């Protein structure tokens, strides 16, 4: 029986997409090339800016482009689709409506993983783009998972970090901004942290998480492997047996 083929709606940003591919490879039990997972990847950095659309209220709507990418990947043979960008999940409905194959929802998947791994924490600290809070993206799913969300005070600093990662000009200052936001959330009572921007995934290993922490890019990579190699549905609220979800970074 052939394995499911994953289609990746990528390019948001391009390095985060490549990082997802590498993490899927790293998490796959493989002794030979043929043991690895078939990935169809549209690494399209020309998707209109989510920051411009959601924060600045200007620019082109990214939804139609994301929907078109979904249709293209389905046409190429993808059995399910993923989007390795949290903010782009504001347009998840556009992608889901455009195709007949499942489009995984990273926001729902992440919160399910957090509660399965740690119990039901009362407070989840969000390290994410200010756009997520503005459109209440995680809030749409938090209640069903029994969690409340808290955000750091300096969200402008987090946006500065995102822009530095995209421009490949990260310095110790940006790492310190992200680490300070994590400490603020932990000291404010967060039981767990969610790294809710896949750009942050590229630099999070430069500091230690002060409380149990979940990198959404790592969650997605491990869940892809769990589904393709172990048949564990993304709708399974439990942590896949034999495929432990990583905490910390």
**Active site members:** 85, 197
Which residue reads 């740690």 in tokens?
Answer: 118
Contact 105/67 with Cβ under 8 angstroms?
Answer: no
In angstroms, the CA 183 to CA 162 distance is 18
Residue 99 has a CB neighbour count (10 Å cut-off) of 20
Q: Helices 216-230 and 106-118, interaxial angle, to 10°?
A: 90
Dihedral sign of CA atoms 227, 133, 166, 9 in order: positive
Which one-letter DSSP state was computed for residue 80? E
Q: Tell me, what DSSP letter sits at residue 244? A: P
| Cα–Cα distance, 183 to 169 (Å, whole number) | 23
Strands 148-150 and 192-196: unpaired
Distances (CA, A) of 113 to 27, 222, 223: 17, 11, 9
- Residues 172, 207: contact at Cβ < 8 Å? no
């Amino acid at each position: 029986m052939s394995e499911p083929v994953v289609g990746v709606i990528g390019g948001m940003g391009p390095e985060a997409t490549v990082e997802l591919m590498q993490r899927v490879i790293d998490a796959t039990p493989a002794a030979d090339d043929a043991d690895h997972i078939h990935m169809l990847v549209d690494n399209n950095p020309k998707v209109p800016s989510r920051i411009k659309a959601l924060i600045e209220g200007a620019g082109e709507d990214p939804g139609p482009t994301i929907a078109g990418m979904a249709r293209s990947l389905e046409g190429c043979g993808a059995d399910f689709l993923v989007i390795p960008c949290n903010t782009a999940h504001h347009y998840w409905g556009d992608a889901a409506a455009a195709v007949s194959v499942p489009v995984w929802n990273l926001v729902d998947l992440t919160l399910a993983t957090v509660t399965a791994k740690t119990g039901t924490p009362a407070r989840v600290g969000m390290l994410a783009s200010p756009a997520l809070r503005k459109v209440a993206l995680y809030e749409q799913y938090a209640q069903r998972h029994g969690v409340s969300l808290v955000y750091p005070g300096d969200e402008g600093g987090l946006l500065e970090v995102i822009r530095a990662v995209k421009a490949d000009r990260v310095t110790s200052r940006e790492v310190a901004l992200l680490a300070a936001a994590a400490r603020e959330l932990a000291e404010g009572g967060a039981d767990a942290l969610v790294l809710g921007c896949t750009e942050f995934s590229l630099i999070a290993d430069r500091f230690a998480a002060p409380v149990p922490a979940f990198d959404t890019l790592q969650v997605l990579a491990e869940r892809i492997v769990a589904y393709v190699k172990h048949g564990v549905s993304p709708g399974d609220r439990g942590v896949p047996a034999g495929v432990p979800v990583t905490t910390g970074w």
